[in-house]
Amino acid sequence: MDAEKPPLEILLCAPRGFCAGVVRAIDAVEQALNLYGAPVYVRHEIVHNKYVVDALKRKGAVFVEELDEVPDTSAPVIFSAHGVPKSVPDAAAGRNLFAIDATCPLVTKVHREAQVHHKRGRHILLIGHRGHPEVVGTMGQLPDGAITLVESAEDARTLMPREPDNLAYVTQTTLSLDDTAEMVAILRARFPTMSEPHKEDICYATTNRQEAVKSVAPRVDAMVVVGAPNSSNSQRLREAAERAGCARAVLVQRAADLDWTVFGDISRLGITAGASAPEVLVEEIIDAFAVRYAVTVETVTSSHEDVFFPLPRALRPDAAE
């Protein structure tokens, strides 16, 4: 049978898939279910992946968009990895809810930076995407008007802050490295006294996954990014592949979403996965290609990751004793 199939070499990007913040957030929901039983309420998708969310629902997690959907309960209420505005934990405390914050520590770092700049009297420029939960959460750390959102190079060029000599910038953690570098360069040129993060805000996982894609994309005929359409880091991977020279770059959630007309005559395929996409979905995609092609798989590693974040304190093994 394989003799009749066209050969296909798959280059698997590494690192790919789950990052330490996503692992911590998913583990937080599972550990809350282990310690306290169902239901466990989760405000917003714990991570942007339908497969992960559906699996947690089957175990007893109840996902809500806002706290007012949570009944008066002693069950845990978990905040997603993307972070939340300050008003959310305040509202939870006002209702005596058992709130557990699963915000990624690297997002919390951005929140703290913004708070420090605000205390020092600086106006903050936040480079990010309007409406993304992480941006909503970061802007919600400070009073209205304390942060200005910068979404594009055009925004960076035309922004007219009230105190141009008293600025600081922070960024969403899941942005395009190239887009962000362009915006920062424009802002630096316009506002040379602007304060900068001590360490890059774009997280290690976003950076590493984009660099892996950039190394593979010029070598392949097509690239599949496994991830959700509402996942910022997954969308940026697709864009990075296109920019690096792969004209056929697609973002899919599952093998069933593959449009086979896109692939046709390819002989080499790149595959990666966003930071909230589980490896089982990568394997599903490879299996789908193996039905149609005689597949060989090679992993292309651009960096190694060993980052680990401990669970929120309320969920550590001794918490329920």
CA 130 to chain centre: 15
> What are the structure tokens assigned to 147, written together?
């942060």
Q: How many residues does the chain have?
A: 321
Q: Taken in order 243, 232, 280, 285, is the CA torsion positive or negative?
A: negative
Q: CB–CB of 91/67 below 8 Å?
A: yes
The H or E element spanning position 24 is helix 20-36
To the query of whether residue 69 is one of the catalytic residues in this protein, the response is no
Secondary structure (DSSP) of 63-94:
EESSGGGSPS-SSEEEE-TT---THHHHHHHH
Q: Which of 4, 134, 151, 154 is catalytic?
A: 134
Structure tokens belonging to residue 49:
């992946």
Cis peptide before 6 (omega within 30 of 0): no
Calpha distance 109→91 (Å, rounded) = 22
Q: Which residues are catalytic?
A: 134
